[in-house]
Amino acid sequence: MRKWTRWQDYVALAAGVMMMLTRLWSDPGAGGSWAMVVLGGLLAATSLWSLYDPGAMTSEYSHVLLGALMFIAPWVFSYTDIRVAAYTSWILGALAVAVGLAALPESRKVHQQQLAH
């Protein structure tokens, strides 16, 4: 697998950027806004890491973890009643988990190839 080619990481990158920008059209409150920006930024950053190094399995696990945190954020930061922000967190969180899990087999294969050389 070559650098900058895995579609799952581009999807995670888009989800991270969208999560960061959600506060522009929805107001989940101060805590919710910061949670969305931080979690989205971390997801975008780990996506870039994964695109740069396709064998970095830790980045794929971080997508899964960050996706889970994005999913529970509306309850933790009390913005479940702000529908746009809450649904964005739930959908993008589930998407991050799904693409992180989908990329793991490819990442594991590249990682094993890197260890063999």
Could you state, in order of their start, the residue ranges of all structural domains in the chain? 7-116
What single DSSP character describes residue 3? T
**pLDDT per position as a tens digit, 71-102:** 999 999 999 999 999 999 999 999 999 999 99
CA–CA separation, 72 vs 104, rounded Å?
22
Mark the ranges of the chain whose per-residue pLDDT is less than 70.
Answer: none
Residue type, 13: L
16 contacts: CB under 8 Å, gap ≥ 6? 39, 40, 41, 42, 43, 44, 45, 47, 96
**Which tokens go with 82?**
């702000």
Predicted TM-score of the model (pTM): 0.94
